[in-house]
Amino acid sequence: MRTRSTVAGVLAAAAALAASEALAAVLDLRESPVLSVGQSVIALTPGPVAEAIIGVVGTNDKPLAVASVVVAILLLGALVGRWWLTRRLAACTVVAVLVALAAASVLTRPYASPQGVFAAVAGGVVLMGVLQLLLPPSHDHGATKDGQHAGREAGHDPSRRVFIRTAALVAAATVVVGAAGQALASRHRRREVVERARAALRIPARPVVVPAGADLQVPDQAPWLTPNRDFYRIDTSLQAPLIDPAEWTLRIHGLVDRELTLTYQDLLDRGLTDAWITICCVSNEVGGDLIGNTVWGGVPIKGILEEVGVQAGADALLSTSEDGWTCGTPLDALTDGRNALLALTMNGEPLPVPHGFPVRQVVPGLYGYVSATKWVTDWEVTRFADFEAYWTQRGWGERGPIKTESRIDVPRDGSSVGAGPVTVAGVAWAQHVGVQGVEFRVDGGPWKPATLGVAANADTWVQWTGEWDAEPGDHTIEARATDATGEPQTSKIAEVLPDGATGYPRSSVRVS
């Protein structure tokens, strides 16, 4: 009976999830209850825990978050199933708590709606209905007759056959409803509107030309220009906000002389500036790949701030995303002449939705958590002393300047190569300062200068390469960069918390 009850609970929870998600798709909700719960879990996750998860799974954090919510609901469903016949009140209480938590998550999100709460409640109703179907009161082992017990012991349990048939029907219905819900969600009306609007944009052609000599064309080395499809994505949104550019606005207020609201067309009318900029996530481990380089097209932020008139005493810009995420950026990094942009294009095309369409911030020299707000809709000119942004509340540093770092792409860590001349190559960066040189060494030996590719400006990474006469055995290659001021990359090992990892990148190689 315990196994049967557990299976029934899991099936009931799966059916509830499928029904709730399908109903959310039918109602064309901006965010389903499951995603709302997932967002609440992300918001409540302590900074060190979030960092540990990103360090392990990287850009797979979002599927993991959704999967974790689903698994947790299935496990609770198993518990409810175990209690359904013997502890009905406790089982119903667990379901009620689940529904209440889902409804609370829906109501705390930017897209809160009664329809979202209805979808959450419907899931709870389906869960209990399926349990009642699979585990009717007659299955209570305390209510059976002696003859029925004897029949079961002899292996002739008619209720077992009924349960298997009913469970199979429930499972099939769950699959059908779940698949239908996914199909409907993929044709989300707002998604279609936004995708059509993005495709219809007539932004002047912006050809992307990689500067001569920037890409050294070393086999297996990361390209100098990161394609949009390969650009890393780290943010807190399980489902990228869908914003029609015709509806997008940016409100600018706070410690300013004149409040201003900009539309997408206002930005286009100002004309776009193109700039090669490398951006990096603070969660990037030494030698990691949470970094990318592309050409962004947008409107300089400095001019907009000059237009509204920043008042004395202000030292920060608090930007808010469509999904409620907040970011604090030092004003001096937005007004010192660097190419800080409200970006509309990426690699010559309108921003992809996952990367901030229709408008995002890009600020050279600062980690993304203090600068690169996607789907930005609000600016408040303020003071750091008067607020804490999303990640600073969770233990990250306030201002987030990017550290001088390097990476070894070739030969890969853990790879094997043949003895003789071996190409060593990678990238290095010191955004808004520039890279003066890169060196590498083997097994702690003398540093050897590498050859640098061309850098478009001080805000991009630079490729480097060198030659190593490899001898048989196991070896460790290290690299270090020196910035344009002559300051070398530090060898001190530091974790990503609170303001970025440091140390020399290493690649362990076996030479045969």
- Does residue 423 contact residue 467 with C-beta atoms inside 8 Å? yes
Give residue 148's pLDDT. Answer: 44
Give residue 371's pLDDT. Answer: 96
Give residue 63's pLDDT. Answer: 84
Give residue 157's pLDDT. Answer: 58
Residue 411 preceded by cis peptide, ω within 30: yes
Whether residues 27 and 144 fall in one domain: yes
Give residue 335's pLDDT. Answer: 96
Whether residues 385 and 435 fall in one domain: no
Whether residues 45 and 90 fall in one domain: yes
Q: Which of 163, 187, 211 lies at the terminal end of a domain, its last residue? A: 187
Give residue 413's pLDDT. Answer: 96
Secondary structure (DSSP) of 11-52 = HHHHHHHHHHHHHHHHTT-SS-HHHHHHHHHHHHS-HHHHHH
Torsion angle, alpha carbons of 298, 301, 303, 305, to 10: 150
- Burial (CB count within 10 angstroms: exposed 0-12, middle 13-18, buried 19+), residue 222: buried
CATH of the domain at 270: 3.90.420.10
Whether residues 133 and 87 fall in one domain: yes
**317 part of a folded domain:** yes
CATH of the domain at 418: 2.60.40.650
**309 part of a folded domain:** yes
Cα 449 from Cα 146, distance rounded (Å): 87
**201 part of a folded domain:** no
Q: Which of 155, 171, 187 lies at the terminal end of a domain, its last residue? A: 187
Give residue 213's pLDDT. Answer: 96
Distance of CA 124 to the CA centre of its chain: 29
Instruction: Provide φ and ψ at 469, rounded to 5°.
Output: -85, 95
Sheet holding 405-410, edge to edge: 405-410, 420-429, 462-470, 451-452
Please name which of 81, 98, 125 lies closest in space to residue 33, comparing C-alpha atoms: 98
**193 part of a folded domain:** no
Whether residues 235 and 356 fall in one domain: yes
Cα 430 from Cα 130, distance rounded (Å): 59
Whether residues 166 and 19 fall in one domain: yes
Question: Which residue matches tokens 């220009």?
Answer: 225
Each residue's pLDDT, cut to its tens digit, for the chain (512 residues) gives 788 999 999 999 999 999 999 999 999 898 999 999 999 988 888 888 887 887 777 777 788 888 889 999 999 999 999 999 999 999 999 999 999 999 999 999 988 899 999 999 999 999 999 999 999 876 444 444 444 444 444 444 568 888 999 999 999 999 999 999 888 887 777 888 899 999 999 888 778 999 999 999 999 999 999 999 999 999 999 989 999 999 999 999 999 999 999 999 999 999 999 999 999 999 999 999 999 999 999 999 999 999 999 999 999 999 999 999 999 999 999 999 999 999 999 999 999 999 999 999 999 999 999 999 999 999 999 999 999 999 999 999 999 999 999 999 999 999 999 999 999 999 999 999 999 999 999 999 999 999 999 999 999 999 999 999 999 999 999 999 999 999 999 999 999 999 999 999 999 999 99
Cα 343 from Cα 295, distance rounded (Å): 10
Q: Angle at Cα 502 formed by Cα 498 and Cα 505, nearest 5°?
A: 145
Give residue 144's pLDDT. Answer: 43
Whether residues 152 and 82 fall in one domain: yes
Whether residues 486 and 387 fall in one domain: no
Helix axis angle for 33-44 and 114-134, nearest 10°, is 110
Cα 320 from Cα 230, distance rounded (Å): 26
- Burial (CB count within 10 angstroms: exposed 0-12, middle 13-18, buried 19+), residue 183: exposed
Q: Which of 159, 187, 215 lies at the terminal end of a domain, its last residue? A: 187
Please name which of 381, 310, 285, 304 lies closest in space to residue 343, comparing C-alpha atoms: 304
Secondary structure class of 507 (helix, strand, coil): strand
Domain that holds residue 347: 228-394
**214 part of a folded domain:** no
Whether residues 157 and 50 fall in one domain: yes
Give residue 46's pLDDT. Answer: 85
**211 part of a folded domain:** no
Whether residues 281 and 409 fall in one domain: no
**208 part of a folded domain:** no
What is the count of structural domains for the chain? Answer: 3
**197 part of a folded domain:** no
Whether residues 447 and 386 fall in one domain: no
Whether residues 374 and 413 fall in one domain: no
